[in-house]
Structure 1
Amino acid sequence: MSTTADLIAALKKELKAAQMTYADLARQLNLAESSVKRMLARGDMPLSRIDAICRALRLDFAELARRVAEAQPLLKELTLEQEKAVVADEKLLLVSICVLSQWTLEQMTSAYRLTEAECVKCLAQLDRIGIIDLKPGNRYRLKLAKAFRWRPHGPVMNFFRDNVALDYYSGGFDGPAEGLLLVHGSVSRSLAPVFLERLQRVAQDFAQQHLADQKLPEAAREGYTLVLAMRRWEFDAFMRLRR
């Protein structure tokens, strides 16, 4: 939700872009120029006054609020409380994963046993949590950065470790376009971050291709799950054999 200070900061930018001086605005509002300067400098004013300034700029208030919302910094990680809320409900977690892939409401209801009402309820919850900005027509804007990740030891990753990891790795990885690579080695500490950066680029490429291929018919697409990881680790049984 946009704060009044955010709205006023945006109004100042709009005034500058419109080349409207404080004197010009004061005449439009029937106020003294000093009052307008003081009002904008405080960063706090009633919404009715903000609406009046919008009219002077011929700018719709809803459009101003939208611009402010879209200018907010995107989240790279959720708070502990936000993640707890996501995993508290299985259907909400499912819809969360779907919105990370930017599925439409229609895609969710056609792929899963979810009613439209259930999906809309989950989208509204994700809006309250702060993951999406829900728009008219059940469209939404994702409020997560490209570099977003679940908290490494947070509720969501713990849920997947406890409930998903064994199921995922129980597969044979021998189907078309499937594979499981296990590589162990010792590399320079200075080069290890470079390899991690490459893995992150692969993940971003995969996510961008997913979005680009949404225009293809469903029959031309297949659902895959890409898991990339790198950590300092040695199998516990091997560690016990070390001298």
Structure 2
Amino acid sequence: MSQTKILIGALKAQLKAHGKTYDDVAKYLQLSQASVKRLFSEGNISLSRLESICNMIDLPLADLVLSMTIEHKKIDSLSLLQEQEIADDLLLLLLTVCVINGFTFDDLLQEYSLTELECIQKLAKLDKLKIIELLPGNRFKLKISTNFAWLPDGPIQRFFLKRVQEEFFNSHFKQPTEKLIVINGLLSLSTNAEIQKQMQKLSSNFAECRNEDASLKMNQKHGTTMVLALRQWDSSLFDEIRRKS
């Protein structure tokens, strides 16, 4: 990951910690909210604007650089063995997904039928796996980066494909909170690669929005899943009429 991207990620984390939003930054810099979002998404923030944003939250630039160093040490993914350990324990997997999505210890006990002991034991495993750091008073903080992702075709991804995909797509996608888009076309390899970049960018935007909503109360947010898929693929339905080469 580039140093600029890490620095921007650290700045976003500091803004969130100080309870500031893109709208607050926009008003302070006298820019539109769309312009500020574009600055952050493109990583195109000048040094003077960077200093201005730091001044807005009384954060010395040196402290931002220090937080960037800490962010850089966070993990982007787990090992195959670590993912397998989580995938083999359904309760551990549930808690892993929850803590990544901002659940607190009290949220977990309130939302699920867990005892304090069960919760503490699973969180201790996540601490051992370096996903969280346990703190006094049953608190914890994430040790994964904002770009954390499950391994492609890894144990977690395979688990969800096997256990969740049929249930996920068992919908007409007509509700206001649902959307399904299927597009077919003939694309060059370079265009395919560009689409994949845009998909990754959308995935990053989803993660940013999730982090921005983390401070909201649990009854103000809802479990939401986004699936992005792209394949160089033709349906077998057309095999019988396809001209043989």
Work out whether the TM-score is over 0.5: yes
Letter paired with 2:133: D
- The range that moved more, 143-152 or 95-104, is 143-152
Give the counterpart letter for 2:86 in structure 1.
Answer: V
Does residue 94 of the first structure (1) align with residue 102 of the second (2)?
no
Give the whole-Å Cα distance in 2 for the aligned partners of 1:131 and 1:233: 36
2:129 corresponds to which residue?
A: 129
2:36 aligns with: none
How far is the alpha carbon of 1:240 from its aligned partner? 5.3
Count of matched residue positions in the alignment of Structure 1 and Structure 2: 176
4+ residue stretches of structure 1 with deviation over 6 A? Answer: none
Superposed counterparts of 1:1-243, under 5 Å: 70=70, 73-239=73-239, 241-243=241-243
Aligned with 1:134: secondary structure? strand
Alpha-carbon shift at residue 237 of structure 1 (Å): 2.9
Residue equivalent to 1:35 = none
Gaps of 5+ in 2: 1-66
Distance 1:153 1:223, change over 3 A: closer
How far off is 1:241 after superposition? 4.2
Residue identity matched to 2:131: I
Identify which range, 82-91 or 114-123, moves more after superposition: 114-123
- For the Cα contact (< 8 Å) 2:133–2:140, is it kept in 1? yes
Letter in 2 for 1:170: N
Residues 5-40 of structure 1: per-residue CA shift (max 9 Å, x gap): xxxxxxxxxxxxxxxxxxxxxxxxxxxxxxxxxxxx
1:199 Cα deviation after fit: 1.7
Q: Residues 159-188 of structure 1, C-alpha deviation per residue, up to 9 Å, x if partnerless? A: 111111111111221112211111111223
The answer to whether the 8 Å contact 1:101/1:207 transfers is no
Q: In structure 2, what is the Cα distance between the partners aligned to 1:129 and 1:187?
A: 41
Q: Percent identity?
A: 34
Cα distance in 2 for partners of 1:105, 1:144 equals 18
2:190 partner SS: coil
Distance 1:138 1:227 in 2: 33
Q: Name the structure, 1 or 2, with higher relative contact order (CA <8 Å, separation 6+).
A: 2
Question: Is the CA contact (8 Å cut-off) linking 2:71 and 2:145 kept in structure 1?
Answer: no
* Separation (CA, whole Å) in 1 of partners of 2:135 and 2:217: 25
- Cα distance in 2 for partners of 1:187, 1:168 equals 28
Please state whether the residue corresponding to 1:191 is helix, strand or coil: helix
Amino acid at match of 1:107: D
Partner of 2:25: none
Q: Is the 8 A contact 2:132 2:140 kept in 1?
A: yes
Structure 1: unaligned runs, 5 residues or longer: 1-66
* Conservation of the 8 A alpha-carbon contact between 1:100 and 1:142: yes
Query: Which of these two proteins has the greater Rg computed from alpha carbons?
Result: 1
RMSD across aligned C-alpha pairs, in angstroms? 2.3
TM-score w.r.t. structure 2 length? 0.64
- The AA in structure 1 aligned to 2:85 is A
1:16 matched residue in structure 2 = none
133-142 or 225-234: bigger deviation: 133-142
**C-alpha displacement of 1:222:** 2.8
